[in-house]
Amino acid sequence: MIRSFIRYLRGYVKIRAEGFSPERFLNICSSHQILIWGLRPVPKGYEMYMSVRDFRRLKPIAKKTRTKIVLDGRYGFPFFLFRYRKRRVFFIGAFLCVALLKAYSLFIWDIHFEGNDRWPDETLSEYLRSEGVSPLMLKSAVDCPGIVKSIRKEYNDIVWVSASVDGSRLKIQIKENEDVLLGEDAEVSEKKTPTDLIASSDGVITSIVTRSGVPQVHVGDRVEKGDILVLGRVDVADDSGEVTGYQYQRSDADIFADTTLEYRDEMSLTYEEKVYDGKKKYEPYIRLGKFTISVGSISNKYEHSEILSKERQLKAGENFYLPVSLGIKTARSYALEEKTYSQDRTRELLSRNFRRFCDDLAEKGIHIRENDVKIHLYADSAVASGTLFLNERITEEADTEILTIERKETDESVGTDD
C-alpha cells in the first residue's frame, strides 16, 4: 500500500521492450538495480512498469542490447500535475487549503477539562475567559504555567492543575480536594462571638444533650418560642457565691421537643384543562449575535394559544460556543374546558400533597409522632386539615447578652507631688 503510494507520488511509466533478446535487456536492467514490476510477455517482447528515474537510465542499456523501447503510459502525481498545469483555480484552491490549515492550526479551538466534579466546565471556562483564555486565541499566547497558577489561586479546593496544549486544543486536567470536612471546620472556628440557643417554636422538651453553655431548661419543661434554652454566658463566682465575672462561649446542644403544626390544604373541585386542537404555527430562526433571521411568523388569531421556544447555541468542539443559535418558535392553539375532579381523585390529590409534605419534614430530620389530618369534601372544594404532632430540634442561635459587673473598687491611686 505504502509502496504503491510512493510509486504514485514519484511517477512511473509503462514501457514495452521489443527486439532480438528482450530477456537480456531485463537481466541487465536488474543488474543495474532497476526495479521492474508487472512484467508481462507480449508478442515480440515484454511489457513492464518502472519508475521515471529508472526510465531515464535505460538509454545506454537499450542501445547495448539493441532493444526498442516504446513508452506505453505515464502514471503518477508528476504527470497528473503536468496534465492539469493550466487549471489555475485548482492549484490556488490546493494552496489555500494548505495555507488555511496552517493558519487555523495557529489558534486554540477548544478547551477540554478533565477530572472536575464540583466545578462544571461552564464555570471553569467562564473563569478562564475572564483571565483572557478562550477559544480562538493564538496558540503562542497561551501561558500554561500562568493558567495553572491562576486556577490554583482562584479555587481553593482544586489541589492540582495541569494545562497543556494538545494540537489545537487546550487540555486542563484538574484534581479536586475530596476532603470536604476540612473546609467546614475552618468556617466554624472562625465564628467566635458568644451565642445562646433559643427555642424556634413552642413545645415540650424531650431530650437535651449540651456540649457547651449552661442549659436553662429540663426535660418535660414547656417552652415558648424565643425562650432561652442554653445560655452562652457562664457565671464566675467567688468563694462567697457572689458573681464576679462572666465567661462567654458559643453554645452548642441538641435539644428536641414535642411540637405541633397546623396543616391545611384546600383545593377547588373544578379546574380548567387545556385541550389542544392541533393547530400549530412554526417560526424557525437563526440568531447571529443580535440579528435574527426567521422564516414564517407565529402571529395568529387563536383564541387561546401558548408559545414555545427552543433554542440551541452551536458549538465547535466541547467548549467553544459560536455566536450562532438555531431555534424554533411554536404557537399552539388550545381551548379551555372546565372539568370537575371526582371524589376519589380529589382524595388522591390531597393525600398525595400531604404525603409530600410529610416526606419534606422527614428529610429535614423531623419525626412525626402522630397526625389527625382529615379530608373534608364540600360542594365545590375539598380541604385537608388537622394537626401534626412532631418531635424536632428546636434550637436557634442568638447572640448572648453581654453583662458588665460594676465593681466597687477602692481608689488606691497615689498622688505624687513634685
Partner 1 sequence: MEKEQLRERLASAAGMPKDVTMKAAVITVLGNFEACIENYRGITEYTECLIRIQTKGGQIRFTGRHLQVEYYTNDEMKITGRIETIEFTHKEGRE
- Pick one of 4, 9, 20, 37: the residue that binds partner 1 (CB under 8 A): 37
Contact window for partner 1 (CB under 8 A) among 33-41, 143-151, 261-269, 388-396: 33-41
Out of 4, 6, 23, 405, point to the residue binding partner 1 (CB under 8 A).
23
Please report how many Cα atoms fall inside a 13 Å half-sphere around the Cα of residue 403, on the Cβ side.
Answer: 15
**Which residues make Cβ contacts (< 8 Å) with residue 376, sequence separation at least 6?**
382, 383, 384, 385
Q: Which is nearer to partner 1, 46 or 109 (CB)?
A: 46
**3-class DSSP state of 366:** coil
- Shortest Cβ 4–partner 1 spacing (Å): 12
Among 8, 14, 36, 320, binds partner 1 (CB under 8 A): 36
Range in contact with partner 1 (rule: CB under 8 A) among 41-49, 154-162, 307-315, 388-396: 41-49
Q: Is 4 in the site for partner 1 (CB under 8 A)?
A: no
Q: Which of 33, 240, 299, 416 binds partner 1 (CB under 8 A)?
A: 33
To the nearest whole angstrom, how small is the minimum distance from the Cβ of residue 23 to partner 1?
A: 5
* Contact with partner 1 (CB under 8 A) among 5, 38, 126, 322: 38
Our CA angle for 14, 19, 23, nearest 5°, is 75
Interface with partner 1 (CB under 8 A), residue from 4, 30, 123, 244: 30
Q: How far is the CB of 76 from partner 1 (least distance, A)?
A: 17
Q: Which is nearer to partner 1, 36 or 137 (CB)?
A: 36
Q: What is the C-alpha separation between 353 and 184, in angstroms, rounded?
A: 35
Query: All 3 cell numbers of residue 329?
Result: 418558535
Give dist(CA 396, CA 401) in Å, integer.
15
C-alpha R_g of the chain: 44
d(CA 269, CA 350): 11
**Measured on CA atoms in the order 264, 265, 270, 272, is the torsion positive or negative?**
positive
Residue 43: Cβ within 10 Å count: 5
Considering CB under 8 A, how many residues would be counted as binding partner 1? 17
Q: Would you count residue 39 as binding partner 1 (CB under 8 A)?
A: yes
- Site residues for partner 1, 116-155, by CB under 8 A, read none
Q: Looking at beta carbons only, is 33 or 413 nearer to partner 1?
A: 33
State the cell numbers at 377.
369534601
> What whole-number distance in Å separates Cα of residue 330 and Cα of residue 315?
24
| CB 71 to partner 1: min, Å | 19
- Are 151 and 113 within 8 A, CB to CB? no
Look up residue 203 and give its DSSP letter. Answer: E
When binding is defined by CB under 8 A, the residue of 31, 156, 240, 299 that contacts partner 1 is 31
The residue among 26 and 172 lying less far from partner 1, judged by its C-beta, is: 26
Q: Which of 184, 162, 180 lies closest to 118 in space, CA to CA?
A: 180
Q: Max alpha carbon distance in the chain (Å)?
A: 146
Per CB under 8 A, contacts with partner 1 among 47-106 are 48
Q: Is 27 in the site for partner 1 (CB under 8 A)?
A: yes
Residues that bind partner 1 (CB under 8 A): 23-24, 26-27, 29-31, 33, 35-41, 46, 48
